[in-house]
Structure 1
Amino acid sequence: MRDNPTFLIAPYSTMPRRAALPLALASILILTAFTAAAQQADTASGSTAPAPPSVTTLPRIDVRGFDWRAYVAAKLKHQMAEVAGTKITVTKKTTVTHLDLQPTVIDNNLQQLLARSPGVLVSQQPTPTQFNLSYRGLGNPQESEYVLVMQDGIPLESDWIGFPTLYAMPLAQSLDQVQLIRGGSSLLYGPEPAPVINLVTKRPKPGAPFSASTEQVVGNHGLYSTYNTLEGSSGAWTFRADAAYVRSDGTRPNAQSQMRQGDFYLEYRPDDKHLWWLDLHAINADSGDPGRLSYPQWQADPRATPTPWNRDWVDRDQLVLGHTREFGDGWRLTGKLWFAYQDLASRAANGVLAPQPPPASTTLQDEQFRTRGLDLRVRKAWGHGNAFTAGTVLFQGNDPFRQWSSSDLYVERFDRTGTPRLRQARSSDYYAVFAENVFRLPHEIHIVPSVRLERERVAVDETVRPPFLSRPLIHEADARTVPLFGLGIGNDFGHGNETYFNVSQGWRPLRYFDMASPFANIVPGHAPDPSKSLSWEAGVHGVPVTGLYYDASLFWIDFKNRIEAQHINAIDVVEVNTGDTCSRGFEGLLSYDFLAPTALATRGEHLEAFASVSLLNAKFTASAIPGQVGKIPAYAPRYLAKAGLTWRVEQRVKLSLTAVSAAAQYWQDSDQPFGSGPSYLPARIPAYTVLDLAGDWQLNHNVKLLAGISNLADRRYYDRVWQTGLEPAYGRSWYTGVQLKL
C-alpha cells in the first residue's frame, strides 16, 4: 500500500498475452479433467454411455510457457518495478541495492553503501557533517549539489531549490534500499539534471510480531557505534522506532565527531485499500574540521591539522504525513506532506601550521532552513498493462543566513556577542505539475511520453554585508518557469530481456549564490539563466538465464548554461552562463550468482559476483572563458569501476569483498594546478583503487557478529580537493561488534 517499490500486477483481463497463454492452457486442462470425472461418475451410476468413436492419433505438440512472474521477481532484485506505486520507471535506467543482501554498513561508509550503484562518484570527507557525490562529470561533488538525494521520495537537501546541499544522511542500518534513477529522473522527481538517489527507509510488515534489537560496534580511531530498534504491530497499527549514536576520533587532531539519530514510524491500515502513516526523522551531528592541506604538506605529514579551532554542527528534523488509497478500477492516490528544519552552523578561521602564529579572529556562521512541501500523485491502470500518472509538488523554504566575527577562536556555537558580519533573509518557492503514461503496444513495445512544468522563485534581502566588500546591499528576487519533456521507448524480447531508450530534459535551479553571492562584489540585476540538460540513454538489460543480470547502455548528456563568477574589473564580479559541456560514454553492470542454478540455492546459499564500469568522455563544447573549449570538466574520471564478490547463506552468513577504482581526474574546470611552492596543488587527483571487506555471521536467531576492514590495502590517497587544499582519505580501518535480537 505504501508508495514503495511494488510491482503493479494487472488482473487477468489486462495481463500480457505471454501471461494469458499459460492460464488459458491451465483452464483447458482443468475443464478436461472435470469432463473425464463426470463421465466416470456416469459410468459408475449405471448410466448407458454411447459407444466411443474411432480414435485418431494426432501429431505431438509441445507447448512451453514463459513464467513472467519468475522473470519479474529476478529483475526486481536489481532494478525498480516498471510501475512503482504511483510512479512510472519503465524505460528509465534504474539500479536498486537491497541492503539486506549485503553485510551491515557501519559509520555511513558511502563507498560500501554505493558499491552497487554504477557511476556514482564518492568524494570522501571523513566527517559526518558533509557528503559529496557526483555523476558523469556534471558538476563538482562539493556537498552533492548536482545530485538529487532523497529519503522516501522527499529531498534531503538543506533547501531543495535555493541551497541544494547535502549535510545530513540517515545511517545505513535504518535503510532498506538504495535506488539510483537516471534518464528521466528530473521528470519523475524534479530539479537536478541526473541522477536521483532515493534512500528507502526500513518498514515493518503489517502483522509483524513485536521485536527489539541492539547493535554494539567498536573500531580503531576511537569508533563506537550503537543502533537500537523496536518494532511490531497490533491490529491495524504498525510501528518502528530506532535510536543510534556514533562517535569517532578521526585520523587527525580535531577530526573527532559524533552523530545521533532517532526515527519513529507509525502506520494505520484500517483495510486493504487505505493506509495512513507518520514518519519522524531526527539527525544531530557535530565534528571538528582539521582543515585542508597543500600537496607538499600532505606528502610531509597527512595528519597535519592547520585548523585545530574549526568546528561544524548540523541538526535536521523532518516530519512526514502520508496517505495512500486504492479507489478501485485501477486508481491509486499517494500524498505526502512534510515539514523540515535544519540548522547548519560552523566556526571557521584561516588555517596555519607552526611556526606561524594563529589567526586573530574566526567567523561564526549560522544558516537555518525551514522548509515544507506537498507531493500528490495519482495512477490509473488501464487497458492491457497501460498506466497513467499525474501529480503536483509544492515546496517553500525560509532560510535566514547570519555570520559574526569573534576574536575567540573557540567561541561557542550559540554565542552572539561577536560583531555582525553578514545577515540575509532568503526564501524559495517551487511549484510543479507533471504527467506520464506508459502505452503497451503490439510486439511487446512500450512507449512513455512525459511532461513536467516547473516554476521557481528565489529571493535574497540583505541587511548586513561583509566589511571587505564595496557593493550595495543585496535586494534581489528572480523567478523562472521551466517546461520539461521526455520520451521513453522499450521492447521486451526473448525470455527476460528488454531494450530501452530515453531522451529527457533536466535542469539545475537558480540558487541563492547564483543570483547574489554574499562574499563578492556582485553587480546587481545580472541573474544568469538556469543550467539545463538534455540526456540520451539507450541500452539493454535483463535476466536471460537463472542467476544472471546485465544492464549496459550508451549515454550522451548536453549540459548547457553552466554558471560561474566572472570578474568584469579588478573589484566587481558578475554571475554569468560561461559555457556548455558534453558527457558521453558507456555504463554497464553485470551480476551473476554462481549457485543460483544449483540445488544449494534452494537451501538459501548464494555466491554472487558483480562488476560495473562507467566509461566517460566529458569536455567543454562552448565557453566564455578563452581557451576553455575542449578541456575536461572537474571530477570527470575516464573510468569508474566497481566490483565485488558476496557469499551469502540465508540467516547465517554474509561476507563481501568489494573494490572501487577511479581514474585520475581534474579537480577544477581549468585543468590547471593551483598555487606554488608550499601551497601547491597538482592539477589532477591521482588514480586510486580501494578494497573493503565486511561480514555478518548469524550465530543463532538472537546473536549476530559483525566485522569489517575498510581500505584493506591501506592505500594512501585523496579524492577531494578545493582551492583551499586537499583532504586526506581514511587509511586502513576496522570494526567489530555484535547484534542482539529479541
Structure 2
Amino acid sequence: MLSFRRASLPFALLMALVSWSTHAQSAQDTQPAGDQNAVKATKLPEINVHADDWRKYLKAKLQYQMPEVDGPKITVTKKTTVTHLENQPTVIGNNLNQALARTPGVLVSEQPTPTQFNFSYRGIGNPQESEFVLVMQDGIPMEGDWIGFPTLYAFPMTQSLSEVQLIRGGSSLLYGPEPAPVINLVSKRPAPGTPLTVSTENVVGEHGLFSSYNVIERNQGAWAFRADAGYVHSDGTRANDGSQNRQADLYLAYKPDEHQQWWMDFHAISAVSGDPGRLSYTQWQQDPRTVTTPYNRDWVNRDQLVLGHTREFGDRWSLEAKLWFTYQDLVSRAAKASLPGQPLPSSTTLQDEAFRTYGADVRLRKNWGQGNALTVGTVLFRGNDPFRQWSSPDLMVARDDHDGTPVLNQRRSSQYESLFAENVFRLPYRIHIVPSVRLEHERIAVDETVRPPFLTRPYIHEADGRHLPLFGLGLGNDFGHGNETYFNVSQGWRPLRYFDIASPFSNLVPGHAAQLSKSLSWEAGVHGAPVTGLYYDVSLYWIDFRNRLETQYINAIDTIEVNTGDTRSRGLEGQLDYDFFARTSLASEGQHLESFVNVSLLNATFTGSAIPGQVGKTPAFSPSYLVKTGVTWRDEHVKLSLTAVSSAAQYWQDSDQAYGSGQTYMPARIPAYTVVDVASDWQLNRSLRLLAGISNIGNRHYFDRVWQNGLEPAFGRTWYTGFALSYD
C-alpha cells in the first residue's frame, strides 16, 4: 500500500508514462493501414495505487482519547481517556461510579450525601474530599481554594456535562498543582445550527428521590446561549440523611467571525444535607441505619463567573484566555456523636469557611513546520478565605446565626503564579517528542484573632512561600494502522495547605512548614484503533511520591503536620473497547453494541518513613485491582447499559492496623466489593424519552468510605424512572 504523499514523484512519473502511452496508442490508431512507420503499441502491466487515509484512524481514537493538540493544550504522549456521556444512558443523581465507569483507575469513595466528593488515583493520598486529585470544569479548578484548601465540595449535575477527560502523567505541567491526575469536566454547549430548543427531564425513585433538569438553548448566527436549572431531592437511607441539591448554569457566546469568539459562563450550585454520622464496623453490621449525629447539617453554596476569549491570528498563532471569579461558602453544624438512649450533647459548633478566589489562564499556540506546535502561557490565582467557628447551646442553630461564642477566627490568603511552555516536535518515521517546563510559585498566610478555648498556644501568624520548577518529557511513535507507542516522564507536586503551616486545633505551632510533597511519574504504553470498532490502551506506570505530609499525634490534643516518608506506586492500567456491530451492516443503521473493560493493577508501598516500622506497608486506599466493565446497546431510539465496578480490599489508614474494640471496632481493611448497575433511555418519538434504571442490582451490603471517626454505608439497591420532553 502506497501513500500519495510519499509516492508523489513515482506516481507523477507513472501518470506521465500512461499519458504518453495513451497518446502513442491514439497516434497508431490514426496511421494509414500498411504504414511502415506506424508506432507499435506496448501493453504495460496493470498497477493499483491505494491511499491510506490516516484520518479514519484519528477519528476512531478520538472517541476514547483527547486530540493530540487540543486548542492550546498538547496532550500527545500524555495518557488520556475521554468518556462521551452522550454515548451512555443518562446518569441520575450523580451516580459517579456509573458516570466514571469508562474512566480507568479512578477510585470513587462513596458518600451518599451530596456535599463532599471523594476521588483517589493509584494510591496517592486519602480520597477525603479529593485532596490529591485536581478536578476542573472547563479547565478551571473546582476546589474550594486551589492552593490553600484543595477540597471538592461541589459537583455539577452530570446531565449538564458532555464529557469527562482524564489526564495522567504530565497533568501538573499542563494545569498545575496536584500530583496526578486531572479530571476535567466539559460542559455541554449548543451545537451550531441548533434552533430554539426547550427540554425538561423529571425522575422519581427510591428513598424519596425526585430529580428535575431543564434546559433552553439556541445556536444560530453569531450568538449562542444555553441555560439550565436542576433540582434533586432525596430522603436518604437514614434519619437526618435527607438532601437537596440545586443548580443553575448560563452560557452566552458571541462569534463575530470565524476567527474569534467571546463567551461567558455562570455556574451556581447549592446543596444542603443532613449528616447522620459515621458508624463503627460493629454498628454497621448490627444496623446500618443507625444515626449517631441526629442534629448535624452541612450547607454548600458555590457561584462562579467565567469570561473567555479565543482568537486565531495570522502566521498560525492562536489565543485562549479565561478570567474567573468564584465564591464558595461551606457551613456545617456539628455536635459530638451520641447513640440513641445516650444523653444529648450540651453544645454544637457552627463552622463557616468562605472562599473568594479569582484567577486568569492565558495560553498561546503557534503551529509551525510540518505538524509542530508550541504552547506558552501563564496562570494567576488569588484566594481570600476566612475561617470562623462559634459554639452554641442550640443543637439546631441556624446556618447564619452567629450569636454563639466565637471559638475560632482566622484570616487566610493564598496566591499562585505559573509560567509554562510545551512543544511537540514531529520527526521522520512518525516520531514525536514533547519537552515541557513549568515554573511555579505559591504563598499562603494565616492570621488568627480567636483561638479555641482549650488551647494555650500563641495566636497563629504564619506565612510561607515556595518556588519550584517542573520538567517533563514525552516520546511517541505512530506505527501500523492507527497505533501509537507513548512514553512520559514528568514531575508534579502538592501545594502546602493552610493546615500544613499550622493546625488551628493543636497547641503546637511548627517553627517552619514541612517540605513540599513532590511526585515523579513514569508511564509507557501503546494504544490505538487498528481495526474498525476496536480501541485499546495498555500502559505500565511507576510513581515516586516524596515528602508525604501526615498528621503526627503528640498527645490527645496536639498534632503537627510533618513529612513522614515516601511511597512508590507501580502497576498496569489497561482499557479495551469493542463495538460488535461496527463491521456489520447494522452500523450504517446507527446500531452499536459496545463492550468495555478497564483494569488498574496497583502495587503501592512505603519506601521511606519517619515512623518506625512503616517502610514496606501499603498506603491507605490502594486496592491491588480496580476493574470496571460493561456493555451498552444504543441506536437512535435506545440506550441500554449494564456496568459493574469491582474493587479489591484496601486499607483505610496507612498503619494497616485495625482500630478500637467492641462498639468502636474498625477492621484494618475495607472489604472487596462488586457493584452492578443498569440504566436505560428510550426515545419513543422526537419529543418524548423515557428513563429507568437500577443501581446496585445485587443489593450489595458494603462500604468504601472510612474516615478517622468511622465509616459511611453505601446505598443498597435503588431504582428510578421518569421521562424527558423536548421541543424545538
TM-score between both structures, scaled by the size of structure 2: 0.96
- Residues 18 and 68 in structure 1, CA contact (< 8 A), matched pair in contact too: no
Q: Secondary structure at the match of 2:455?
A: coil
Where does residue 706 of structure 1 map in the other structure?
691
Q: Deviations over 1:521-555 (max 9, x none)?
A: 23232200110000000000001111000000000
- Residues 105 and 121 in structure 2, CA contact (< 8 A), matched pair in contact too: yes
- Residues 674 and 723 in structure 1, CA contact (< 8 A), matched pair in contact too: no
Query: Using a 3 Å threshold, how does the CA distance of structure 1 residues 598 and 32 change in structure 2: closer, same or farther?
Result: farther
Distance 2:579 2:153 in 1: 37
Where does residue 377 of structure 2 map in the other structure?
391
Q: Secondary structure at the match of 2:571?
A: strand
Where does residue 669 of structure 2 map in the other structure?
684
Matches within 5 A, 1:349-388: 349-388=335-374
Where does residue 622 of structure 2 map in the other structure?
636
1:719 aligns with 2:695: no
Distance 2:557 2:60 in 1: 61
Distance 1:410 1:571 in 2: 27
Query: Using a 3 Å threshold, how does the CA distance of structure 1 residues 68 and 574 change in structure 2: closer, same or farther?
Result: same
- Residues 522 and 575 in structure 1, CA contact (< 8 A), matched pair in contact too: no
Q: Deviations over 1:368-412 (max 9, x none)?
A: 000000000011111111110010000000000000001111100
Distance 2:20 2:439 in 1: 60
* C-alpha displacement of 1:509: 0.2
Distance 1:115 1:458 in 2: 37
Equivalent of 2:280 in 258, 270, 294: 294
* C-alpha displacement of 1:21: 4.7
Q: Secondary structure at the match of 2:189?
A: coil
Distance 1:503 1:241 in 2: 41
Distance 2:257 2:412 in 1: 44
Where does residue 161 of structure 2 map in the other structure?
175
Question: Which consecutive unaligned segments of at least 5 residues does structure 1 have?
Answer: 1-16, 44-50
- Residues 474 and 524 in structure 1, CA contact (< 8 A), matched pair in contact too: no
Matches within 5 A, 1:125-144: 125-144=111-130
Where does residue 402 of structure 1 map in the other structure?
388
Distance 2:424 2:40 in 1: 53
Distance 1:52 1:481 in 2: 86
- Residues 460 and 509 in structure 2, CA contact (< 8 A), matched pair in contact too: no
Query: Using a 3 Å threshold, how does the CA distance of structure 1 residues 523 and 52 change in structure 2: closer, same or farther?
Result: farther
AA of the residue aligned to 1:721: V
- Residues 503 and 559 in structure 2, CA contact (< 8 A), matched pair in contact too: no
1:337 aligns with 2:323: yes
Distance 1:26 1:603 in 2: 38
* C-alpha displacement of 1:350: 1.0
Q: Secondary structure at the match of 1:186?
A: helix
1:604 aligns with 2:590: yes
Q: Secondary structure at the match of 1:229?
A: strand
Distance 1:528 1:455 in 2: 16
Equivalent of 1:560 in 543, 546, 561: 546
1:729 aligns with 2:714: yes
Q: Secondary structure at the match of 1:691?
A: strand
Q: Secondary structure at the match of 2:677?
A: strand
Equivalent of 2:410 in 424, 430, 451: 424
Question: Which consecutive unaligned segments of at least 5 residues does structure 2 have?
Answer: 29-36
Where does residue 319 of structure 1 map in the other structure?
305
Q: Deviations over 1:104-135 (max 9, x none)?
A: 00111000110000000000000111000000
Where does residue 271 of structure 1 map in the other structure?
257
Equivalent of 1:145 in 128, 131, 150: 131
Distance 2:135 2:687 in 1: 34
Q: Secondary structure at the match of 1:307?
A: coil
Q: Secondary structure at the match of 2:704?
A: strand
- Residues 541 and 551 in structure 1, CA contact (< 8 A), matched pair in contact too: yes
- Residues 550 and 589 in structure 1, CA contact (< 8 A), matched pair in contact too: yes
Where does residue 614 of structure 1 map in the other structure?
600
Distance 2:680 2:158 in 1: 15
Q: Secondary structure at the match of 1:73?
A: helix
AA of the residue aligned to 2:387: F
Q: Secondary structure at the match of 1:356?
A: coil
Q: Secondary structure at the match of 1:20?
A: coil
1:239 aligns with 2:225: yes
Query: Using a 3 Å threshold, how does the CA distance of structure 1 residues 340 and 31 change in structure 2: closer, same or farther?
Result: farther
Seq. identity, %: 70
Distance 2:708 2:217 in 1: 47
Distance 2:10 2:678 in 1: 50
Where does residue 8 of structure 1 map in the other structure?
none
Where does residue 671 of structure 1 map in the other structure?
656
Distance 1:23 1:646 in 2: 44
Query: Using a 3 Å threshold, how does the CA distance of structure 1 residues 39 and 391 change in structure 2: closer, same or farther?
Result: farther
Distance 2:57 2:38 in 1: 44
* C-alpha displacement of 1:575: 2.1
Q: Deviations over 1:189-235 (max 9, x none)?
A: 00000000000000012332111100010001000011000111342
Q: Deviations over 1:335-385 (max 9, x none)?
A: 000000000100011111122111111100000000000000011111111
Where does residue 89 of structure 2 map in the other structure?
103
Query: Using a 3 Å threshold, how does the CA distance of structure 1 residues 412 and 40 change in structure 2: closer, same or farther?
Result: farther
- Residues 147 and 194 in structure 1, CA contact (< 8 A), matched pair in contact too: yes
Equivalent of 2:174 in 173, 185, 188: 188
Query: Using a 3 Å threshold, how does the CA distance of structure 1 residues 541 and 24 change in structure 2: closer, same or farther?
Result: farther
- Residues 325 and 332 in structure 1, CA contact (< 8 A), matched pair in contact too: yes
Distance 1:418 1:235 in 2: 56
Q: Secondary structure at the match of 1:634?
A: coil
- Residues 644 and 674 in structure 2, CA contact (< 8 A), matched pair in contact too: yes
Equivalent of 2:647 in 642, 662, 667: 662
Q: Secondary structure at the match of 1:521?
A: coil
Query: Using a 3 Å threshold, how does the CA distance of structure 1 residues 105 and 410 change in structure 2: closer, same or farther?
Result: same
1:221 aligns with 2:207: yes
Distance 1:615 1:415 in 2: 49
Distance 1:259 1:719 in 2: 23
1:411 aligns with 2:385: no
Distance 1:456 1:714 in 2: 47
Q: Secondary structure at the match of 2:313?
A: strand
Query: Using a 3 Å threshold, how does the CA distance of structure 1 residues 52 and 415 change in structure 2: closer, same or farther?
Result: farther
Matches within 5 A, 1:642-653: 642-649=628-635, 651-653=636-638
Distance 1:438 1:449 in 2: 7
TM-score between both structures, scaled by the size of structure 1: 0.94
Distance 1:121 1:453 in 2: 30
Where does residue 447 of structure 1 map in the other structure?
433
- Residues 24 and 39 in structure 2, CA contact (< 8 A), matched pair in contact too: no
AA of the residue aligned to 1:110: L
Query: Using a 3 Å threshold, how does the CA distance of structure 1 residues 736 and 624 change in structure 2: closer, same or farther?
Result: same
Where does residue 57 of structure 1 map in the other structure?
43
* C-alpha displacement of 1:471: 1.4
Distance 1:672 1:612 in 2: 30
Query: Using a 3 Å threshold, how does the CA distance of structure 1 residues 19 and 710 change in structure 2: closer, same or farther?
Result: farther
Aligned pair count reads 722
